[in-house]
Structure formats: structure tokens, C-alpha cells
Amino acid sequence: MPTVLMLTPGFPGEMPFFTRGLSMQGATVLGVANGPSSDLPELTRRHIADYLQVSDLFTNTDSAVAQIRKWLRGRTVDRVCCLWEPGIELAAQIREALGVPGQSYQQALRFRNKDLMKQALIAGGVRVPRAETATSAAQVWEAAEKIGYPLIIKPIAGAGSMDTFRCDDKAAVTAALAQLGHIAEVSVEEFIDAEEFTFDTICARGEMKYFHVGYYRPRPLIARTNEWISPQTLSYRHVDDPWVAGGRAMGEKVLKVLEYDTGFTHMEWYRKSDGEVVFGEIAARPPGARTVDLMNFASDVDLFAGWAEAELKGTFSLNIERKYNCACITKRAHGQGRISRIEGLDRLRERFGEWICTIDLLSVGTPRRDWKSTLLSDGYVTIRHPDWETIKTMADMVGTHLQMFTH
């Protein structure tokens, strides 16, 4: 029975399901995080054999490794897993310190540092946006002159679209710099005017065993800057369609160039109006915002367990039959304060009942969340349908007819 060291087994929201997946595949799971065990979700607690709180887990690697060594007391660890973006490099450092196979620190850097990532892909012949790195306001301005407008400014080691700004002129750069003071290094890059997709994979021993194509409506950068929008992430059923063929081919090439071995990956890519595909970025983790749920609903499978099988055994035995297109629609309440009422939900249940997979909205009386700091905002609805145009229409109706209000 393999023993797995799982970093942050209860956070973010999907992690308890990945922890359960490891346990279901026969692993003894040892959890490590920076919070107390009382913070762990019930599902996580049921599927870990032991737990260590390391308060400085993400601030002092040497101390963290020393505490983990002492706690293990000679127990052999077969895998070290972390599926949360901020812990990818740390997991690699722990692997190397304990002599555990898996992604090395240098490999992890190419998935976390966008500059190193792009350098490797350019050398491998992958089309990427023109970009410059900057560690000061002066360097940002210098890069802006080289790149031209419109451009994007985002953290070198960011996650998703957080702290990402589109700048159409000098005034926008000034505004972005005022909000980026807490970030040491940024990428200033060409803005690609295009549709935005994902290419998500599970790999085992250097072979891609599963892939998924997602589609953002609208682009995350737009959704992140307009509070009234109900962002949609869609799972595309017809993966052999020419519409996504270029992105698929590019995604497979990216995996080979970066020599990815085993685990989940999440890539974002662009398709321009002329059909050209352009790389966005890739992370050595699954997509967030319940996108793995969409993959599961699309084929009626459990990819949390499928990933665990690939991680532990180097195999992938799930039968993937792409039955549905799926969508996750995130809701943002009107106003500030506590949720006072939810309108339109009963009507949607009556109209789409058989196609609704999940309704997870904040209950009346609950304080509204900060929509800028969480992808799932005040809740979400997931739906599925075999027809692509129908799922888009349904998603739009959830976005417009379902409304949450505060008082």
C-alpha cells in the first residue's frame, strides 16, 4: 500500500475529493497544511491516516522539511502531492529533500514562473504572446513601449486571472501599477484578442491519458473586472471538432516540450478570429472553480479517483464517453451585506430540472463574499446537455434569470 504526503488536503474546495481519490485507490494519505486539524473538512478527515500542522509551511521551506522529517519518524513516503498552485514548488522541494520521485524543483519552476515557461516554449516552437518581465515601475514602462497597446500586466508566478490587468493606454498602466505594489515581479505581454479556452490533462509516466477542452464565457479578464457578469466555464463535448483542433495539438506539444510526466495539468489558450492559436499559460495542477466537476458530469466518471490512479499506479482505467456539454455559472449578489432573497431559482428548476447537476448558492442570511477574491463568488449552478447551442442558451438563462440580492 503506497504512502502519500498530501499538502493542503482540505483546501481549496476540491482538495478533499482528491484526497478521497487517493484513499479510494489504496493509498495511506498523510496530510500536511499550515492550519489546525480542526479546520479540515469532514471528507478530508475521513480519508487521511495522520495529519501534521506546519505553521510556517509556505514561509520557511527548511523548517517545514525538518518538521516533516521528524513527524514521519522513518515512515517511507512514495509520493508527494499538491494540487494547489501556491504549493507546487514547495511540493517539489519536499520531494527532493525526502528522495521521493516526481516533478523536480527545476521542472516545477517552468510551470510556475511564466517567463521561464515562455522561454522553454519559444525554444520548442510554440507560439506565445510577446512579453517582457519587470521588477520595477520603470521596467514596466519600458516594456510597455516595446510591446505596444493593448497589453496585459500580470504576476510572473500568479494563479488564474488574479491581479491581471488589460491596459489600453498609459493611464491604464498607471492604474495597474497602483494595484500591483505588493507583487515583486510581473510579466508585461501582448494582448491576444481572441476566444479563450482550456486544455486540461491527466498524464501518467509521460503519456497523456485524458484530456478536456473548456471554454470561458466571457474571457476571465472581462469577468474579473465587471461585477454584474455571471461568469461561465463550459466543458466542450465535441473535442474532435476543427474549432478546437489547433488548441489540442498545441496542448500536446506543450506537454512534450515541458517534459511533463505524471499528474493533472491546466492550460489556457487562445483562438484568434483567423484561426491562429496562441499559448496562454500552463499549471501543474487541475483547473479550479469546479471545472473537474464539469469533466465528471460530462462523462459520468470520477476523475478525482482517475487522477489518483495515474499518480499512484501510472495507469488510467476510466472509460471516457463524452456524453454532455457542461457549464458552471457563477453568481454574484446585488448590493452589499447579507443575502436577503434569491429570485428565479424555482423557474429554472421547472424548466431545466433534469439537466441541473448542482445548485450551491449562499443561503439567505449569509454574508456576501468579496467577488474579487473568490472565483465562485456567492455560489454557482452546474448544468449539462448533449447540444452545444442549447447549453449556452441555458447558461445565459441562469445568468440572467437567477438573481441574488442583499440587504
CB 234 within 8 A of CB 213: no
Q: Summarize the confidence of residues 199-228 as an average pLDDT.
A: 94
Q: What is the pLDDT of residue 107?
A: 95
Q: How many CB atoms lie within 10 A of CB 270?
A: 20
Query: What's the pLDDT score for residue 46?
Result: 97
E strands in 223-378: 232-235, 263-271, 277-283, 325-330, 339-343, 356-361
Average pLDDT over residues 221-227: 87
C-alpha distance from residue 387 to each of 180, 349, 352 (Å): 42, 19, 14
103-156 confidence digits (pLDDT tens)? 999 999 999 988 899 999 999 999 999 888 888 888 999 889 889 899 989 887
Average pLDDT over residues 272-297: 96
| Integer-rounded Cα radius of gyration of the chain | 21
pLDDT of residue 159: 54
Question: Can you identify the CATH homologous superfamily of domain 130-190?
Answer: ATP-grasp fold, A domain (3.30.1490.20)
Query: What pLDDT is recorded for position 6?
Result: 98
Residue 160: pLDDT over 70: no
53-57, 158-162, 396-400: the lowest-pLDDT one: 158-162
Could you tell me which residues are beta bridge partners of residue 154?
187
What pLDDT score was predicted for residue 225? 85
Mean pLDDT score of the chain, rounded to an integer?
Answer: 94
Q: What is the pTM of this model?
A: 0.89
Query: Within its chain, how far is the Cα of 33 from the centroid?
Result: 19
Contact 376, 289 (CB under 8 A): yes
Using a pLDDT cut of 70, give the percent of the chain over it. 98
Average of per-residue pLDDT across 29-52: 97
User: What's the whole-number mean pLDDT along residues 201-210?
Assistant: 97
Predicted confidence (pLDDT) at residue 386 exceeds the cutoff of 80: yes
379-389 burial code (b ≥16 CB/10 A, e <16) = bbbbbbbeebe
Is residue 189 a contact partner of residue 165, using CB atoms and an 8 Å limit? Answer: no
Nearest residue to 277 via CA among 242, 311, 304: 242
Query: Which residues are bridge partners to 213 per DSSP?
Result: 199
Burial letters 71-106, b for 16+ CB under 10 A, else e:
bbeeeebbbbbbbbbebbbbbbbbbbbeebebbebe
Q: Torsion over CA of 98, 100, 105 and 110, rounded to 10 degrees?
A: -160
Which sequence spans correspond to the domains of the chain? 3-102, 130-190, 193-321, 324-407
Distance CA 334, CA 348 (A): 19
State mean pLDDT over 317-342: 96
The yes or no reply on domain 193-321 and CATH 1.10.565.10 is no
Which pLDDT value is given to residue 83? Answer: 97
Q: Determine the pLDDT at residue 187.
A: 86
- The span from the CA of 200 to the CA of 218, in Å, is 19
CATH number for 3-102 (one of 3.30.390.50, 3.40.50.720, 3.40.50.1970, 3.40.50.20): it is: 3.40.50.20
